[in-house]
Structure 1
Amino acid sequence: MAILVCGGAGYIGSHTVKELVNTYDVVVLDNLTTGFEQLIDSKATFIKGDLGDSAILDEIFTTHKIDAVFHFAANSLVGESVQNPLKYYRNNVSATLVLLEKMIEHGVKRFIFSSTAATYGIPDTDMITEETATNPINPYGRSKLMIEQVLADLAHVHDFQYVVLRYFNAAGAHESGEIGESHDPESHLIPIVLQHLLGQRDKISVFGTDYETADGTCIRDYIHVTDLARAHILSYEGMATGKITNKTYNLGNGAGYSVKEIIETCQKISGKKRCD
């Protein structure tokens, strides 16, 4: 049996594939709009195509014995989702519905969904748990929550299992150094700071210095990308052994770091002191 990884050429998807191929047969589906083929482990089977292409999905499910789908493929820029909501509902919702329809049609019963802490919006508590009310404030968060609701409805009427994983902020790179973050344009804080310290970026823009935090800058919860990858695999194995089914989990470390702390830590580790 194999695992289909949708969006396996992206940041989190490629790290998950690299972990999966040590134990499982892996098929990667990615249209390379934001992903990179060179990030895909050579032991995986790569198919270039769109998530919403019924013919490609039929071919994959017919040719390969797929036991589960790990779904990473999505547009994920909050600001862009506000400016172009239809793109997010088309790619994150409509295309995923095609995937789910084909899974049901071909009898594929296990689904690991890459969701987001953006489904919570701006909660009135510092510590967000899975019981915190969802109230997304942008189309990106709403598109993810829509699919979460679809999954719950499917599980009521089909022999279908899912795990929803709501990420906080993914960071880091694989310990081999072979793959890491590569966004265009880069939108994640740590690589932006490192690019600046290496002279590849003129400046770092800090958006807001009057937050109610110790140093006035925004605090975020970070989780290492390899931990995210392993959480997906543990979720799949939990479903396969009957230990978990139809669950939602937050993925973070429970502690936050401010923008200023991240900048200062990068400076300390690199021995460079730009940020003029």
Structure 2
Amino acid sequence: MKIIITGATGFVGKNLTQYLTHKSDKVLPLSIRSGDYQLDNTADAIIHLAGKAHDTKNTSEESTYYQINTELTKVLFNKFLQSDIKDFIFFSSVKAAADTVEGVLTEEVEPNPKTPYGDSKIKAEQYLLSQELPSGKRVIIIRPCMIHGKGNKGNLNLLYKVVKLGIPWVLASYDNRRSFISIDNLNFAIHALLHNAQVASGVYQLADDSAISTNQLITIIAKATHKKPKLVRIPKVMINKLADIGDKFNLPLNSERLQKLTESYVVSNVKIKQALNIDSLPVSAEQGLLQTIKSFQSD
């Protein structure tokens, strides 16, 4: 199978390219920034990974998200519609559906993004799904949750450093749970989608089979670094009071940061597993996280 990939130089792009190549697929990297490009009409699929990632420091212009995540996607999709290529796989995000989650997030939720990043992704999704799809073509929208793996220097790396330095986790009284997706499970799912023509067009979330609490994550990191997990259970009432003080005096721990550190974000992967006719993804949540943490040590 011949597959065009945009964003092939990014973390996911590099890993997916290597995985698909190992599986005997041919990958064609494509840059779409200039807009002056042509699609290889002999390709079987396009995987659109290129995009403007969420800026947690909120320093990016809002218009940049829409220009890259929405408008460039529209241009690429229009070229796909005019081509002989059969499949278009667009990498969106669970943040296109919801910034906060009550219970378990499913594909049936009414999207309500709160950031320019999430809104730009949902607008791209809406455009793809609103276009008339010629017979024989598929459009599959992937909403992954937080992706991790070797070479990814995201939030997991920061938490790894906290544990490695022996700093106690003082928020252990909060029993939150979050979903992750390992790069290994992501690669497996995308390859399976490409090679299973029975999977229908639509929106599919990507997450590991189980959500992990922050306390579990601290324990996994400690296990990987051969340290004893330092989980300190300070009463929530005291923590909340400290956060209130942080609001008033602009301290590192404030109400907003406390919510981000302790909120739950659980994502269902039932729909994609049913579509692929599998009971579970190949790598467990704990195994994947352990592999990622160990890669930080080797780096």
- TM-score, structure 1 length as denominator? 0.72
Residue matched to 1:53: 34
Residue matched to 2:219: 264
CA distance in structure 2 between the partners assigned to 1:81 and 1:144 by the alignment? 17
Aligned to 1:66, what secondary structure does the other structure show? coil
For residue 71 of structure 1, the aligned residue among 48, 61, 85 is 48
CA distance in structure 2 between the partners assigned to 1:141 and 1:192 by the alignment? 23
Task: Give a deviation string over 1:126-172, Cα, whole Å, max 9, x none.
Answer: 11111122111111111111111111112x25344111111111122
Q: Is 1:126 the counterpart of 2:103 in the alignment?
A: yes
Residue matched to 1:150: 127
Match of 1:153, as an amino acid?
S
CA distance in structure 1 between the partners assigned to 2:26 and 2:94 by the alignment? 30
CA gap of 1:203–1:67, structure 2 versus 1, over 3 A, is farther
Q: Which has the larger radius of gyration?
A: 2
Q: Is 1:170 the counterpart of 2:147 in the alignment?
A: yes
Residue matched to 2:24: 23
Instruction: Judge conservation of contact 2:186–2:206 (CA < 8 Å) in 1.
Output: yes
Q: Is 1:98 the counterpart of 2:109 in the alignment?
A: no
CA distance in structure 2 between the partners assigned to 1:52 and 1:26 by the alignment? 19
Residue matched to 1:115: 92
Instruction: Judge conservation of contact 1:121–1:137 (CA < 8 Å) in 2.
Output: yes
CA distance in structure 2 between the partners assigned to 1:107 and 1:129 by the alignment? 32
Residue matched to 2:4: 4
For structure 2, the 5+ residue unaligned runs are: 231-299
CA gap of 1:259–1:227, structure 2 versus 1, over 3 A, is same
Aligned to 1:90, what secondary structure does the other structure show? helix
Residue matched to 2:190: 232
Residue matched to 1:222: 180
Q: How many residues align?
A: 229
Aligned to 1:87, what secondary structure does the other structure show? helix
CA gap of 1:52–1:189, structure 2 versus 1, over 3 A, is closer
CA gap of 1:215–1:171, structure 2 versus 1, over 3 A, is farther
CA RMSD of aligned residues (A): 2.9
Residue matched to 1:250: 205
CA distance in structure 2 between the partners assigned to 1:203 and 1:26 by the alignment? 44
Match of 1:193, as an amino acid?
L
Percent of paired sites with the same residue? 23
Q: Is 1:192 the counterpart of 2:158 in the alignment?
A: yes
Instruction: Judge conservation of contact 2:91–2:144 (CA < 8 Å) in 1.
Output: yes
Aligned to 1:61, what secondary structure does the other structure show? coil
Instruction: Judge conservation of contact 2:44–2:87 (CA < 8 Å) in 1.
Output: yes
CA gap of 1:100–1:81, structure 2 versus 1, over 3 A, is farther
